[in-house]
Chains A and B, each alone.
Chain A
Amino acid sequence: MLQDYGAIALLMAVALIFPFIPLFVSAYIQTKKPTTEKLSTYECGVDTIGKTWVQFKTSYFLYALVFVVFDIETVFLYPWAVKFQVMGTFAFVEMLIFVAILVLGLCYAWRKGALEWQ
Chain B
Amino acid sequence: MRPLVEEMIGGPAWLADLAMIAVQIGAIFAVIMASAIVLVYAERKVSAFMQMRIGPNRVGPWGILQTTADMLKLLSKEDIVPRAAERRVWALAPVLLFVPAVAAYAVLPLDAGLVFADLNIGIFYFVAISSQATLPFLMAGWASNNKYALLGGMRTVAQMISYEIPLVFSLLGVVMLTGSMKMSDIVGAQRDFWFILIQPAAFLVYVIAATAETNRTPFDLVEAESEIIAGPFTEYSGMRWSLFFLAEYANLVAVSAIAATVFLGGWQGPWLPGWLWFTAKVVMMIYVFMWFRWTFPRIRVDQLMSFGWKGLLPLALVNVVVTGIGIYIAQQWRG
Is A27 a contact of B79 with CB atoms below 8 Å? yes
The answer, yes or no, to whether A16 is at the interface (CB within 8 Å) is yes
Nearest A residue (CB) for B309: A115
The answer, yes or no, to whether B328 is at the interface (CB within 8 Å) is yes
Binds A, one of B58-66, B161-169, B198-206, B258-266: B161-169
Q: Which residues of A contact B117 (CB under 8 A)?
A: 4-5, 7-8
Is B21 a contact of A22 with CB atoms below 8 Å? no
Q: Is the interface of A mostly helix, strand, loop or mixed?
A: helix
Is B175 a contact of A26 with CB atoms below 8 Å? no
Is A67 a contact of B164 with CB atoms below 8 Å? yes
Is A15 a contact of B98 with CB atoms below 8 Å? yes
Q: How far is the CA of A63 from the CA of B76 in the complex (A)?
A: 41
Is B161 a contact of A96 with CB atoms below 8 Å? no
Q: From residue 58 to 101 of chain A, which have CB atoms closer than 8 A to chain B?
A: 59-60, 63-64, 66-67, 70-71, 74, 77-78, 81-86, 88-89, 92, 95-96, 99
The answer, yes or no, to whether B77 is at the interface (CB within 8 Å) is yes
Q: Which residues of B contact A112 (CB under 8 A)?
A: none
Is B146 a contact of A22 with CB atoms below 8 Å? no
Min C-beta distance of B331 to chain A, whole Å:
7
Q: From residue 97 to 115 of chain A, which have CB atoms closer than 8 A to chain B?
A: 99, 102-103, 106, 110, 115
Is B234 a contact of A85 with CB atoms below 8 Å? no
Q: Which residues of A contact B98 (CB under 8 A)?
A: 15-16, 18-19
Is A82 a contact of B175 with CB atoms below 8 Å? yes
Min C-beta distance of B153 to chain A, whole Å:
10
Min C-beta distance of A52 to chain B, whole Å:
5
Q: How far is the CA of A117 from the CA of B305 in the complex (A)?
A: 7
Q: Which residues of A contact B148 (CB under 8 A)?
A: 42
Is A117 a contact of B118 with CB atoms below 8 Å? no
Is A117 a contact of B180 with CB atoms below 8 Å? no
Q: How far is the CA of A14 from the CA of B27 in the complex (A)?
A: 12
Q: Which residues of A contact B179 (CB under 8 A)?
A: 82-86
Q: Which residues of A contact B80 (CB under 8 A)?
A: 34, 38-39
Is B81 a contact of A39 with CB atoms below 8 Å? yes
Is B175 a contact of A78 with CB atoms below 8 Å? yes
Min C-beta distance of A106 to chain B, whole Å:
7
Determine which of B161, B242, B317, B324 lies in contact with A84 in the assembled complex, contact meaning CB atoms within 8 Å: B324
Q: How far is the CA of A17 from the CA of B157 in the complex (A)?
A: 25
Is B161 a contact of A67 with CB atoms below 8 Å? yes
Known A-B contacts A10-B25, A81-B175; A26 and B103 likewise in contact (beta carbons under 8 Å): no
Is B165 a contact of A74 with CB atoms below 8 Å? yes
Determine which of A3, A53, A115 lies in contact with B306 in the assembled complex, contact meaning CB atoms within 8 Å: A115
Q: Which residues of B contact A53 (CB under 8 A)?
A: 142, 145, 150
Some 14 contacts from A to B, beta carbons below 8 A apart, are A3-B17, A8-B117, A12-B102, A14-B102, A18-B98, A26-B74, A33-B78, A63-B309, A82-B179, A82-B181, A85-B331, A92-B325, A106-B314, A117-B302
Is A41 a contact of B243 with CB atoms below 8 Å? no
Nearest A residue (CB) for B303: A117
Q: Which residues of A contact B175 (CB under 8 A)?
A: 78, 81-82
Is B146 a contact of A14 with CB atoms below 8 Å? no
Q: Which residues of A contact B102 (CB under 8 A)?
A: 11-12, 14-15, 18
Determine which of A26, A71, A84, A116 lies in contact with B77 in the assembled complex, contact meaning CB atoms within 8 Å: A26
The answer, yes or no, to whether B124 is at the interface (CB within 8 Å) is yes
Q: Which residues of A contact B2 (CB under 8 A)?
A: none
Determine which of A3, A4, A25, A85 lies in contact with B75 in the assembled complex, contact meaning CB atoms within 8 Å: A25
Q: How far is the CA of A3 from the CA of B13 in the complex (A)?
A: 13
Is B119 a contact of A4 with CB atoms below 8 Å? yes
Min C-beta distance of B123 to chain A, whole Å:
8
Q: Which residues of A contact B235 (CB under 8 A)?
A: 41-42
Is B169 a contact of A74 with CB atoms below 8 Å? yes
The answer, yes or no, to whether B253 is at the interface (CB within 8 Å) is no
Nearest A residue (CB) for B107: A8
Q: From residue 1 to 49 of chain A, which have CB atoms closer than 8 A to chain B?
A: 1, 3-5, 7-8, 10-12, 14-16, 18-20, 22-23, 25-27, 29-34, 38-42, 48
Known A-B contacts A4-B118, A11-B28; A56 and B154 likewise in contact (beta carbons under 8 Å): yes
